[in-house]
Structures are given as C-alpha cells and as structure tokens.
Amino acid sequence: MMEQWYKGLKILEGDREMSREDRLKALEGPLLAWYEDHARILPWRSSPEPYQVWVSEIMLQQTRVEAVKPYFLRFMEEFPTVRSLAEADDDRLMKLWEGLGYYSRARNLKKAAIIACEQYGGTLPDTYEGLLSLPGIGSYTAGAVASIAYGLREPAVDGNVLRVLSRVTASREDIGKQSVKREMEALIRRVMPEKRTGEYNQALIETGAIVCVPNGTPKCGECPMESLCLASRRGLTEEIPVKAGKKARRVEKRTVFLIETSDQILIRKREGEGLLASLYELPNLDGWTEGKEGMDRLGIPERLLLESEELPEARHIFSHVEWKMKGIRLRLSRIPAMDQGEGLPFFVRKEELESRYPLPAAFSPYRRLV
C-alpha cells in the first residue's frame, strides 16, 4: 500500500510551479514513507545510541557501507563504550582501523572520547554545538548524531544529500563549495520536520546512496522524489550536480623495501602529524632507487646481503597524492647491528606484522609478499 501511496504522489505533483522551499518541504511525506520500506538493515541502526551512531558515521566518511560493516562490529566488540575508546592502546586502535584509510579519523575518535570522558561523564554531548566542538566532528556528523541519536532537529548534509538536493531543485551551484553546503544546511533546517528528524536525514542520505547514485545514472524510476525533482523532469541529471574539477593528484615515485632474514622483517614507526602518522611502515625511499643504492641510504652493510630481488610495481591512491611504487626484496644473512630508539627501524617477527603492527593499505601489495 505504501508503495502505491508515494508513487501516486508523482501524478499529483507533476511539473507544478513551486518555490524551492515548498518543493523541499513537500519531500518529507514521500521520503519518510520510502524510508520505512527501504531502509537497509545495518548493524549501527539496530541500536541508534550516540556512541554507535558517531563511530559508524566517522567510519562511513569516504568509505562504502559494505566495507564498514565488519570494521564496525570488530570495533564495538573491542571498544564497546566511550570510556573504553578513551583508554584504547594506540597501536591496537590503529590495527583495528588498518585498511579503512584516513587514519586521522581514528586518532580524532580517541581524542574526542577522552574529552567526552573528561567533560561529559563518559557520554557524547547532547547538543549540536557540543558535538561540533569535538575533534573530527564537522557539521554533517554533528547533525547526524544529534538527529539520529538524540532526535534533535538538525540537518545532516553530506555529499549524497548535496547531490540529491541540487538535483531536486535543479541548482547549478558548485556543491564542492563550503558556502553552498552551508546554504543547503540552512535550507534543510527551515524545511525539515519537527519529529522523526533522524529518519528524515537518513532517508535523504539513503536515497543519495542507493537511488540518486554518485556514479552512473540515477534510478529516477525508483525514487520517491521523482514527482518533485526538477533535474529528472527537465532531463538535467547528467549536468547536475555541478562540481568544479578537482586539482589533479600529485604523483610520487617511491621504492619500498622488504628487508628480511629467514624469520624477521624490518619496519619503522612513522612519526609526526602527516597522513600516516603513528602507523608502521616498510622501509621506503623517495624516488625509484636500485637495491645497492637503497642499502647505502638505509645503512644496511652489503656483506650481509644474500640476495636482492625486484618486486612488481604497484600504486596506491590517497586523496591528493598517488604513490607509484616499485619494490625490492633484500634477503640478509642475519640482523645487522642497529641503533635503537623512537622513529628508528627495527626488526619484528614476520607473523607479528599481521597480528600486531598496523600498516597502511598503501603497503599491502608488498606485505602480501612477505
């Protein structure tokens, strides 16, 4: 019955002239009805507690739902409360995050959990402003947690929602601009319902994810907003949303080394605040070098070398940089004498590389060859 009801609305609305605000206000009924029927069953939806909603929303940034599910379940098993996250061992936290990428998200989760323990008694703040003040929480995440977990009337506008809204209103404004996002947030704040705010936000996000899809043709025939959507009516879905071209990624050449004995391998902990800070890495050098030059630069005595082997090329794409890598395996007769200390490389047992040390996904093509 529900299906027919929101499909029927298409005929009623047709191409009727409406203000942008009225058009968006009219989405509420069909959106909520569609969401009741089509919301995906996801682990974090069964109990929309603030902590679960927060962790899932952070994981979902830049990452697909299917990829997030097992990470979310493992994370909740190991860190079931804000307090357990605040007390998490850094290496263990990074190990659980390994493969999800954008590791600053995990670091910020812990920082925010510590603040929540110190200032809010071990729970997340229950206001939009309070949430927004925590590390790693921007307007989208604050709105998502506020509306889904606390039922507050706050918008949650992410890339999916921006795409949907700009298509429904046939807006040609650049959705990559912060000013356009702020404008959409203000608009949604004016038109969103008083109740079921979490469902309303999730319905917008969900239609953006599975109907008004980011890549490929939107499935307008399955969309609860079709009757109201100007881009669909006017055949503009190819042109909208407008997103000004991103800057081309910088390509960096890098040589990655597997420096190993029969049972141990050399790794290093990355320092500083960069992209992969506080994770571990395989020794690597800027540019493409040869085995001999690499050994010199890494301070490995040549007399210990049993065998040098070229490994296949690989690449890894970060948001702004692409690593174009070549690999070299250096088999040593024994572990060389090395200085010990923070930031210096050290040998670990090969099986520990899997079980204990978090390595960014960029090194996966070579870790598989250990």
Q: Is residue 232 close enough to count as binding ligand SF4 by CB under 6 A?
A: yes
CA distance 19 to 169: 9
Q: Pick the closer one to ligand SF4 by CB: 199 or 226.
A: 226
Per CB under 6 A, the segment of 123-131, 230-238, 317-325, 345-353 that binds ligand SF4 is: 230-238
CA dihedral 126, 196, 17, 237 (to 10 degrees): 80
CA dihedral 333, 338, 341, 344 (to 10 degrees): -70
Q: Pick the closer one to ligand SF4 by CB: 17 or 339.
A: 17
Per CB under 6 A, the segment of 61-69, 221-229, 297-305, 327-335 that binds ligand SF4 is: 221-229
State which of positions 138-197 bind ligand SF4 (CB under 6 A).
164, 167-168
Q: Are 224 and 207 in contact (CB under 8 A)?
A: yes
Q: Pick the closer one to ligand SF4 by CB: 53 or 223.
A: 223
Q: How far is the CB of 218 from ligand SF4 (least distance, A)?
A: 4
Among 81, 237, 261, 364, binds ligand SF4 (CB under 6 A): 237
State which of positions 239-278 bind ligand SF4 (CB under 6 A).
none
Q: How far is the CB of 10 from ligand SF4 (least distance, A)?
A: 10
> Exposure pattern of 222-251 as b/e (b: 16+ CB <10 Å)?
ebbbbbbbbbbeeebbeebbeeeeeeeeee
Q: Are 159 and 246 in contact (CB under 8 A)?
A: no
Would strands 284-286 and 250-260 be described as parallel, antiparallel, or unpaired? Answer: antiparallel
Among 212, 258, 282, 328, binds ligand SF4 (CB under 6 A): 212
3-state secondary structure of 233: helix
Per CB under 6 A, the segment of 25-33, 182-190, 216-224, 263-271 that binds ligand SF4 is: 216-224
Q: How far is the CB of 24 from ligand SF4 (least distance, A)?
A: 12
- 57 noted as active-site residue: yes
Q: How far is the CB of 241 from ligand SF4 (least distance, A)?
A: 10
Q: Give the phi and the psi of residue 118 in degrees, each rounded to 5.
A: -75, -35
State which of positions 279-338 bind ligand SF4 (CB under 6 A).
none
Q: Which of 120, 53, 58, 61 is nearest to 86 (CA)?
A: 120
Among 18, 65, 187, 220, binds ligand SF4 (CB under 6 A): 220
Q: Which residues contact 192 (CB under 8 A, 6 or more apart)?
A: 28, 153, 155, 200, 201
Q: Is residue 226 close enough to count as binding ligand SF4 by CB under 6 A?
A: yes
Q: What is the DSSP letter of 174?
A: B
Burial (0-12, 13-18, 19+ Cβ within 10 Å), 122: middle
CB atoms < 10 A from the CB of 105, how many? 17
Among 33, 59, 144, 223, binds ligand SF4 (CB under 6 A): 223
Per CB under 6 A, the segment of 17-25, 144-152, 215-223, 268-276 that binds ligand SF4 is: 215-223
Q: How far is the CB of 240 from ligand SF4 (least distance, A)?
A: 8
Long-range contacts of 234-241 (CB under 8 A, 24+ apart): 234/170, 236/167, 236/170, 237/167, 239/172, 240/166, 240/167, 240/170, 240/171, 240/172, 241/162, 241/163, 241/166, 241/167, 241/171, 241/175
Q: How far is the CB of 41 from ligand SF4 (least distance, A)?
A: 22
Q: Which of 353, 256, 349 is nearest to 298 (CA)?
A: 256
Among 58, 231, 265, 328, binds ligand SF4 (CB under 6 A): 231
CB atoms < 10 A from the CB of 85, how many? 23
Q: What is the DSSP letter of 223?
A: -
Q: How far is the CB of 289 from ligand SF4 (least distance, A)?
A: 50
Q: Pick the closer one to ligand SF4 by CB: 230 or 266.
A: 230
Per CB under 6 A, the segment of 2-10, 35-43, 81-89, 229-237 that binds ligand SF4 is: 229-237
Q: Looking at the annotation, which residues are catalytic?
A: 57
Write out the residues near ligand SF4 by the rule CB under 6 A: 164, 167-168, 211-212, 218-220, 223, 225-226, 229, 231-232, 237
